[in-house]
Amino acid sequence: MRVGLFAVGRLKAGPEKELAARYLDRFAKSGPAVGLELGKLVEVVESRASNPETRKREEAALLDKSLPADTVLVLLDERGKALGSEDFAELIGRWRDGGKRDVTIAIGGADGLDPALHARADAVLNLGKMTWPHQLVRILIAEQLYRATTILSGHPYHRA
pLDDT at 156: 84
Annotated binding residue 128: yes
| Within a domain: 87 | yes
Q: Tell me, what CATH number does 145's domain have?
A: 3.40.1280.10
pLDDT at 160: 60
pLDDT at 130: 87
| Within a domain: 21 | yes
Annotated binding residue 129: yes
Number of independent structural domains in the chain: 1
**What is the rounded distance in angstroms from the CA atom of residue 149 to the CA atom of residue 28?**
10
Annotated binding residue 127: yes
| Within a domain: 143 | yes
SS (H, E, C) the chain: CEEEEEEECCCCCCHHHHHHHHHHHHHHHHHHHHCCEEEEEEEECCCCCCCHHHHHHHHHHHHHHHCCCCCEEEEEEEEEEECCHHHHHHHHHHHHHCCCCEEEEEECECCECCHHHHHHCCEEEECCCCCCCHHHHHHHHHHHHHHHHHHHHCCCCCCC
| Within a domain: 158 | no
pLDDT averaged per 10 residues, the chain (length 160) = 95 94 98 98 93 96 93 95 97 98 95 94 94 92 98 84
| Within a domain: 75 | yes
Q: What domain range includes position 86?
A: 2-153
| Within a domain: 82 | yes
| Within a domain: 119 | yes
pLDDT at 102: 98
pTM comes to 0.94
Annotated binding residue 108: yes
| Within a domain: 160 | no
Annotated binding residue 76: yes
